[in-house]
Amino acid sequence: MKGTDTVQVHIDYDFIILEDNNTEVFKASQQIGQPLLHTAEGIVTILFTLEEVGNYTIKVPVMGINFIPLTTEYADFPVKIE
């Protein structure tokens, strides 16, 4: 939950990587042809290699927790590849 470090279960989410100009580089849900992803455990590993130097944003939209839909909340993580 927001403001805690407690792992939540049954999360509906996506994992998106954007270039500095907001161009989408990778979207995990598109890799499996689904509108969103789901994890029962609340912990996932997504493999993707950024090969170009630049500034990126990893965006994780969360659409539901424990089978309860919610207004989408986002966690953004800046990444710099040198």
> Please, how many CA atoms are within 13 Å of residue 58, restricted to the half-sphere of its CB?
13
Decide the pairing of beta strands 68-81 and 54-65.
antiparallel
Residue (of 40, 56, 33, 54) closest to 8 by Cα position:
40
Domain segments of the chain as ranges = 11-81
Q: What is the C-alpha separation between 55 and 65, in angstroms, rounded?
A: 30
How many contiguous H segments (helices) and E segments (strands) does the chain have?
1, 6
- Residue 61's pLDDT is 97
Reading the block at residue 74, the tokens are: 């986002």
- The pTM assigned to this predicted structure is 0.90
- Per-residue model confidence as pLDDT tens digits over 14-37: 999 999 999 999 999 999 999 999
